[in-house]
Structure formats: structure tokens, C-alpha cells
Structure 1
Amino acid sequence: MKRQPLRLAIIEATRILEEAGVSSPRFDAELLAAHVLGVERSRLPMIPLVDPPVVDAIGQLVAQRAKRVPLQHLTGWAALGHITVDVGSGVFIPRPETELLLEWGLKLLRGREFPVVVDLCTGSGALALAVAHAVPDAVVYAVDIDAQALAWARHNADARAAEGDTPIRLYSGDIADSTLFAELDGLVDLVLCNPPYVPEGTPVPPEVADYDPARAVFAAESGLAAIRHALAVSARLLRPGGGLAIEHDDTHGTAVPALVRARRVLTDVEGHLDLTGRPRFVTARRVQDA
């Protein structure tokens, strides 16, 4: 069997994905090729020729991606910060947009010893586990209401602990519960939250509509229901000087900062843009005691 140029296989994969309406066809084609070859994407230029079975394997994955199966379902993982987590059916896939929210939280924790961190609506556990990896002395709590999501989070938490990361404390709970984490009231340095926030009825890409759990994507009250609950929890959990970062829909650039400002115990409210320049998350701090 004659070896074939990998470059041509990637060009053809890119063409197929572009025609299928995939938003990042070249990136996805390269990542699928790297996945088949078992190498980092950055090493692809070092592999000029591949065997025909490799081209066939890439083609099979590309065909699935062209049907709008999420890239992360095909590779089995998603990245956040300096870690990867396993993902698949029944759990929300972490998005690149959340990287900036994570960065803000980690910056806030610099210089704090043994900080207490809470990740609301943890899903796969990615945010909580990224914090535990980056801040080894942090005490990280994570909560979700969905049993399937918690199963993925537990799997990922066990895997990260086996790699030597500080274990997180994972709980089943509802952020609408006014007693959630009551034992931590006034003790938390950082609350992170990527809740369901897409307004119900909003058209979304097939990767979201057909694969992400609806309860992890959509929220009532024009997408603000879960955010309101998260703010109520955060306002009582945070210690003076503690910080909050909460993600929101790009249509919430005015509404969510207004909701945060309405909480008198929160100050320094600031809206942040995502990687594409759209409003994506809001940060605030708990007022210092007088």
C-alpha cells in the first residue's frame, strides 16, 4: 500500500466539514487527524506521509463530524485551562469561552493561602478541576443537580486525583436551594458558575441541540432563572473581598450586570467579553466589612 500525504487528507477533510457548516473546519480536521495518529495537533507538520488505513480512519471521523456530532464526542475529551476532562453523552461540553472566566478566577486567588472555591453547576467538573490543578492548596467544592453530569464529574475527578491533583469535594444539589452549602456562608474566596443561560426557544447549532443536555443549556425567564439563583447563593457564600464570576448569554450583556449590582453586598461589578468580542461573563466582589 502506497503511503499518502497527510496534508491532502486534511485539506479534503476541511472541505467536507466546511460544506457541512462546521464553524471551525480546518481546526476540527487537524484535531481529528491528530487524534487518529495519537499526537499533538502541533506535531502534524512533522508527519508528511501516512498509511491508507490512517486516511480511512480520519475519513470515518470526519463523516461523523460532518453530521454535526460534536468534535469532543469523537475525541472523547475537552480542554479547560491546563487540563482535559472526558466528555460524552449526558454532559455539557466545556467551551473555549470559559477559559477567560477561569483566568479571572485564578488571578483573584493569587496570594491567598488555602482558598475556598465553589463551582456551581459543575457539569463535567472542568472548572472545579482546573482550579484544583492550578491552585493545589485550594479547597474546591462542586455541585450539580443532574445525575449524569455528576457521574461524569466523579469520573473526571477520580482521574485527576490519580494524576496527583488535589481531590475536589463533589455534591449533588440544587442552586435554587437556599440552604445549599450553608456551612460555607461567609467563608468562600471564589464562586465560579457556568449555569444554563440560553433563553428557552433560542435556535442553537445541531451540536448543542442534539447532544448537550437541554437542562444544561436552556433556562426560563429569558435565560436568567438559574443566574438569579446562582447570585443568591454567591451573595451569602462569599467572604469579604471574595470574588464571583458567572457566565451568561451574549444577549445578557446589560441584564446580568444589573442583577449583580442589585445585590448590595456585591461591588466592583464588571462585564467581560468572550474570545469573539461578545458579552460573556460578569465578575464582582463581596464588599469589605466596614
Structure 2
Amino acid sequence: MTPTPAELVAVAARLRAAGCVWAEDEAALLAGEAPDQATLDVLVGRRVAGEPLEQVVGWAAFAGLRVAVAPGVFVPRARTQALVRRAVRLAAGVPHPTVVDLCCGTGAVGLAVARAHPGTRLWATDIDPAAVACARANLDGLGTALQGDLDAPLPAGLRGRVDVLAANAPYVPTTEIAHMPPEARDHEPLVALDGGADGVDLHRRVAAAAPGWLAPGGHLLIETSTAQADATAAACEAHGLRTRVEHDDDVDGTVVVARRSGGSRS
């Protein structure tokens, strides 16, 4: 619909009163997604109630793509573009790379890599059935999304053949979840947020599993925080992977890059 300036001002005022920092921008976006006033009222009501904007409109802008986001599914973060950028660079060195996206959520990471490199053989997994359904819609024709715990659902034929294994596993310490913004803690699944006592529980499990899946010279990439990067890196090194920490100032994203020995890739 095309609201009048006065109607947009009224919507923005409701959003600002609810704590939305970018109220005017959100008002324009919600109005653009609504075919009529009744629908706009519903969308604004959902946003005012604290639902993430991306879940309300049904999509997120991520790495130059429009990624579908279903209600209750983890919303792709801008900082995760650091993980994508590194994965895209590494995949560029392999013809028709085999890529795995663990804890895929919407499938945004794998989708971005596959879009950058046509011919990518892509597998994505998540334990949350709602996320897997969302990822399947996003990856239609580009990859396979499977439901299960971390690497458990991956086909055995991928062992020793994965060129890039990217993981945006949860890394919020359990006691810190209560301090997260309400739109995250109340509207995203706990399983996508809770990283255990120190936030590195899932990273340790990923690091333990990764060497069995990686091809010689293949890379494991784990998104983490600056505070947890050393612990995440140590988990990778404990399983024989050559490891370094990279930080992308542009999106404030931190990635642990771990390489299996063999091959010639860097």
C-alpha cells in the first residue's frame, strides 16, 4: 500500500514508543509489505509486541540477498557476513566445492556461498524443524537441508570430502541469554542461542567432528566472539587443525579459521 505521509508518521510514532530505534525506516518497510491498511495494522502490532522485524516482514537482507525468515526462526545477523566472506574466498579455490552449513537456521550462509559459486555442492543442517523448513525454501535447487544435531544427518559419503565446513553454532553463555534483547530471547529458539556455560560447548563438538568430514586442506569456519575466540581456537587446535582468528571490522564479525593438513589451499 502507499500510505499518506501522516499515516507513516503515525506508524513511526507507534514503533518509536515501542522502542524501535529506526522507527521511520521500519514504518516505510512495513507499509511497503502490506497490501492494505488492515494488514499493515497486523504487521505493526506484531512489531510493537516485540517480534523481530525480519520475522514480521518474512525476509532479511543478508550478504546482498533477500533471505526468507519464518516466525520463530533465528534471524541472520549482519556480523555473520564475516563468516560468509571467508567461506566464499576459500570456496573460490576449489572447482565445484563441497560446502556444509552447520546450524544453518534460514540457510543464509550456505545460500550466499552457493550464489557466489554456481556448482557448489551444498549441505545444510539444523536441529530445529522450523529452521530446516525455512532453509529448504531458501535453498530450493541449490542445496540439501537436513534436520538433525550438528553433523549427525550428513550422508556418510561426505566424509573426507568437505572443502568448507561453516558453523554459526550458538555461542551465547547460558546465563547471558536473559540479558539479550527481548526480540531475540522471546522470539528465537533457545537452541539457536544457548552455547552452554561458557558459550563454547557447541564449538567444541563441531571442532571434534570436523576433521572426519574435511578433505585434505579443507577448512572449518566457526563464527564466535572476540571474548570467546581463544577458547574456540583452542578447541580446533586440540583436534589437530591449524587455526587462526580473523576479525572483520566492517561487520564486527569474528571467525575462527581452522585447516586440516594436506592439500595446497590457504
- The TM-score, its normalising length taken from structure 2, stands at 0.84
Amino acid paired to 1:168: G
Q: What is the total number of aligned residue pairs between the two structures? A: 261
Match of 2:18 among 8, 17, 20: 20
TM-aligned CA deviation for residue 76 of structure 1: 1.0
1:44 is aligned to none
CA gap of 1:181–1:11, structure 2 versus 1, over 3 A, is same
1:122 aligns with 2:138: no
Q: Deviations over 1:135-178 (max 9, x none)?
A: 111111111222222222223333xx3xxxxx31222232275x
Q: Which sections of structure 2, spanning at least 5 residues, go unmatched?
A: none
Give the SS at the match of 2:239. Answer: coil
Give the SS at the match of 1:65. Answer: helix
Q: In percent, how many aligned pairs have the same letter?
A: 35
Alpha-carbon separation, structure 2, partners of 1:30 and 1:251? 37
Alpha-carbon separation, structure 1, partners of 2:228 and 2:101? 21
Q: Which sections of structure 1, spanning at least 5 residues, go unmatched?
A: 38-52, 162-166
Contact 2:240/2:260 (CA < 8 Å) preserved in 1? no
TM-aligned CA deviation for residue 95 of structure 1: 1.5
Match of 1:243 among 208, 219, 229: 219
Amino acid paired to 1:66: V
Alpha-carbon separation, structure 2, partners of 1:211 and 1:4? 28
Alpha-carbon separation, structure 1, partners of 2:127 and 2:60? 21
1:92 aligns with 2:74: yes
Contact 1:117/1:140 (CA < 8 Å) preserved in 2? yes
TM-aligned CA deviation for residue 249 of structure 1: 4.1
CA gap of 1:243–1:208, structure 2 versus 1, over 3 A, is same
1:141 is aligned to 123
1:192 aligns with 2:192: no
Alpha-carbon separation, structure 1, partners of 2:220 and 2:120? 16
CA gap of 1:10–1:196, structure 2 versus 1, over 3 A, is same
Match of 1:264 among 231, 240, 243: 240
2:184 is aligned to 208
Contact 2:74/2:188 (CA < 8 Å) preserved in 1? yes
Contact 1:180/1:233 (CA < 8 Å) preserved in 2? no
State the superposition RMSD in angstroms. Answer: 2.8
Runs of 4+ in 1 over 6 A off after TM superposition: none
2:65 is aligned to 83
CA gap of 1:250–1:205, structure 2 versus 1, over 3 A, is farther
Contact 2:81/2:251 (CA < 8 Å) preserved in 1? no
2:150 is aligned to 175
CA gap of 1:186–1:23, structure 2 versus 1, over 3 A, is farther
- The TM-score, its normalising length taken from structure 1, stands at 0.78
1:47-58 matched pairs, under 5 angstroms: 58=40
1:35 is aligned to 33
Alpha-carbon separation, structure 1, partners of 2:251 and 2:109? 20
TM-aligned CA deviation for residue 191 of structure 1: 0.8
CA gap of 1:188–1:176, structure 2 versus 1, over 3 A, is closer
Is 58-67 or 97-106 further displaced after alignment?
58-67
CA gap of 1:274–1:120, structure 2 versus 1, over 3 A, is farther
